[in-house]
Amino acid sequence: MGVDSGAYDTVMVLHVMCVIIGFGGVFLNGIYGAEAKRRRGADGLAVFEATERVGKIAEMFILAVPVFGISLVLMSHSQWKFSQAWVAAAITIYAAAITLSFGFHLPNLRRMGGLMHELVEMGGARPAVAGGAVPTDDATAAAAMAAAGGPPPQALELERRGKRAGVYGGILNLAIVAVVILMVWKPGH
């Protein structure tokens, strides 16, 4: 086999396609998050849900990336080795990013979706769900907010979690950039 074989090239194409589809599918999620925050009620929730659906599809490709990457190392006839700094660093960054994503980011996003659903159900058709504000043109929601002395606790928690999602997403995007740099320049090779 080796790096000059058709089989190696096929696995490389699959690896690169998984990277493009998987990471490309989630790299701009911060933009969608800002759009969900800008919109009110069901509209903001719809943006969030569409982003979440795309993310679940992208997740399958992201999880396939190391399968093909490790296969490439094994198929390379020792041209690439797990002991090479760029390979070891890429695997380490990927593992840390997956841990952050599945351990913290995705549970945070799931809770945000739950809070958005609660706010939409509480306020009827028009409450803002992502920005922590209830529109004053919704008399019922405005009255509930005034009676409670401020925005509902779900809105406050959603705001806090939105900031956390931005931090997690930024770290994950930096991890993607770092691994791409390692794959292209192969430092230490």
- pLDDT, residue 40, reads 75
Backbone angles phi, psi at 60, to 5 degrees: -60, -40
pTM score: 0.85
Residue 159 has pLDDT above 50, yes or no: yes
Condensed to tens digits (0 to 9), the pLDDT of residues 42-64 reads 999 999 999 999 999 999 999 99
How confident is the model over 18-39, as a mean pLDDT? 97
How confident is the model over 83-110, as a mean pLDDT? 98
The closest alpha carbon to 145, from 165, 166, 124, 160, belongs to 124
pLDDT class for 149, splitting at 50, 70, 90? confident
